[in-house]
Amino acid sequence: MVQSVTPYDDFAWFYDRYWNEEFHSLAFPILERLSLARVPAPSRILDVCCGTGYLAGMLTSRGYHVTGIDASPSMIRHARENSPDAEFRICDATRFHFAPHFDAAFCTFDSLNHLLTPEHLESAFRNIAAALKPGAPVAFDMLREEAYQTNWGESFALVRDDHVLTITGSSYDFRTRVASLAITMFRLVEGSWTRSDTSIRERYYLPEEIDAALISAGFGEILCHDAAALGMGSPLGAGRTFFVATRS
């Protein structure tokens, strides 16, 4: 397999150190309530857009068999170090295929908002559906428009002795419903400072677009829950919705 560099490769180290645990420590109790209660260990779980593997580690520690996929080789490298009991593969969410032997699937931390066209969103749902047993749930979260209008992409600076991260230049286009932000990172590696720049883009999807993509992919019994109402506080819970759908 040819491994391509994604916009998230340079960001993987910072994501793993500062964001992965913070989000999933809040999201995991919600996932337990919404779908894990239906799926007892040692069921097989597919972790789509698994990032650096923190969720996979939480699941394997509870006896689940986890396969995680992510398009970023750097994210997968961190995931294999963080969660050695899980299996990880470098796969694009819009272009992967597994036999239907998973009992549940997750896709967390607004990962599906990173898919910028309805066709890509539906492709991801179709691939997830094809990997699930009939009656198996998928749980995921997505950001609503108000998140991009408020706290998402706020200017931010993190300065340490051996690394620096800044977030600047965030914007939201009301016509395309695409949000973007610029991230600049510096790291001191083997005595030399290295710089990398990453642009992150996400799209807000209307609820009816999400429902249509799920139904077309073969899901039913679609439920949605406001993250703040489920106990996820600001800023991570603001403008975030958790969805649960069942493989028909």
CA distance 146 to 194: 35
Is 27 in contact with 232 (CB distance < 8 Å)?
A: yes
Is 180 in contact with 148 (CB distance < 8 Å)?
A: no
Q: What is the pLDDT along the chain (248 residues), one digit of tens a residue?
A: 334 446 678 789 888 988 889 999 999 999 999 999 999 999 999 999 999 999 999 999 999 999 999 999 999 999 999 999 999 999 999 999 999 999 999 999 999 999 999 999 999 999 999 999 999 999 999 999 999 987 777 788 999 999 999 988 788 999 999 999 999 999 998 899 999 898 899 999 999 999 999 999 999 999 999 999 999 988 899 999 999 999 99
CA distance 203 to 119: 13
Whole-Å CA distances, 75 to 27, 69, 247: 19, 10, 28
pLDDT confidence of residue 11:
84
pLDDT confidence of residue 57:
98
CA 6, 245, 227 angle in degrees (round to 5)? 75
Angle separating helix axes 207-217 and 118-131, nearest 10 degrees? 40
Q: Which domains, ranges and CATH numbers included, belong to the chain?
A: 12-144+203-247 (3.40.50.150), 148-202 (2.20.25.110)
pLDDT confidence of residue 7:
64
- Annotate the chain with three-state secondary structure: CCCCCCCCCCCHHHHHHHHHHHHHHHHHHHHHHHCHHHCCCCCEEEEECCCCCHHHHHHHCCCCEEEEEECCHHHHHHHHHHCCCCEEEECECCECCCCCCECEEEECCCHHHHCCCHHHHHHHHHHHHHHECCCCEEEEEEECHHHHHCCCCCCEEEECCCEEEEEEEEEEECCCCEEEEEEEEEEEECCEEEEEEEEEEEECCCHHHHHHHHHHHCEEEEEEEECCCCCCCCCCCCCEEEEEEEEC
pLDDT confidence of residue 6:
61
Whole-Å CA distances, 200 to 7, 44, 54, 59, 170: 7, 31, 21, 28, 9
